[in-house]
Amino acid sequence: METFRAIVVSRGEDKKQSVAVTELRPADLMEGDVTVAIEATTVNYKDGLAITGLAPVIRRFPLVPGIDFAGTVTESSHPDWKKGDKVILNGWGVGETHSGAYADLARVKGDWLVRLPDSMTPFEAMAIGTAGYTAMLCVMALQRHGIVPGRGPVVVTGAAGGVGSVAISLLSRLGYHVIASTGRTSEEDYLKDLGAAEVIARDELTGPARPLGKERWAGGVDAVGSHTLANVLSMTSYGGAVAACGLAGGMDLPSSVAPFILRSVSLLGIDSVMAPRALREKAWSRLATELDRTKLAALSTTIGFDGIIDAAKAIVEGKVRGRVVVDMGR
């Protein structure tokens, strides 16, 4: 391959960001011991922020964005990987400080890769993507804390987004009574098809939080932050826990210590970017067996390489439901 397609984000002396589709050469790839031909990727909320420049996701310029991919190893000097291996990558600064998924080729460190489960295609892996992998990390954290279905309902915020959609599907299949919180109440049928038992309007959780509210759920998965997370915490029952993994509503947390010291509520921080490899492998192994593939298809939309930039803009505008899969051969 003499040249290959790539989306490149650059920044001028005026600090303004620009995005262009261009041709690169293999010699333009960044350092790493494994080269991967990318077959599928996805557009996450974080990718939308990176391409639009609405948040400082990209910290090295010029750079190829895209925080996760699935594909086939074409070259490797890493002992764990050989030519022909099918792999997944999520995080590790890819698409932020290391060129990422929005190109036909990527060169990365082999330690960042996870083997694609035998039962899963690259396109299914990217229908899950970082959002779905993060959702599984949240579910695992709640389970480690003892939040089992018998403890009571579990709330999922940002329910129509990527993390929320997969979290609902996983939790409902595991037997939880799931309450979905969304700003798009028109998506009620979609959320109930995924497994939500109840759907509540986002407005119920966006106002200033009381120190303690009425106990409504035993646990939660929150991808929103700010007032939403504060309200979720204030309404969590005694001994409950909330897994926090996102900041779509803001990085602040206008809460009090009351839920923590009066109800023994735990706030579980979930990081998918630098999670250790063993935890990643466990999460992907569980996704391969516990996520309903029919629901996965229902929450996914497939686009081609040429649709990435428009999809990135749409996702930050709240116009994307579920997951967006990019078929790099389309």
Q: Domain locations in the chain?
A: 4-116+299-327, 129-269
CATH C-level class of 129-269: alpha beta
pTM of the model as a whole:
0.91
Q: What was the pLDDT predicted at 294?
A: 86
The one-digit pLDDT tens for each residue of the chain (330 residues) are 799 999 999 999 898 999 999 999 999 999 999 999 999 999 999 999 999 999 999 999 999 999 999 999 999 999 999 999 999 999 999 999 999 999 999 999 999 999 999 999 999 999 999 999 999 999 999 999 999 999 999 999 999 988 999 999 999 999 999 999 999 888 999 999 999 999 999 999 999 999 999 999 999 999 999 999 999 999 999 999 999 999 989 999 999 999 999 999 999 999 999 999 999 999 999 999 999 988 888 889 999 999 999 999 999 998 988 889 999 998
Q: How far apart are the first and last CA of the chain?
A: 18
Cα separation values, 249 from 45, 219, 230, 245, 318, Å: 12, 19, 11, 12, 12
**Assigned token pair, 296:** 């996965």
Structure tokens at 25: 């050469």
Write down the CATH number for the domain with range 4-116+299-327. 3.90.180.10
Tokens 């892996």 correspond to 125
Query: What is the predicted pLDDT for the residue at 322?
Result: 86
Which residue has 């909330």 as its token pair? Answer: 242
Q: Where are the alpha helices (DSSP H) in the chain?
A: 45-52, 122-144, 162-173, 188-194, 226-234, 258-262, 277-290, 293-298, 308-316
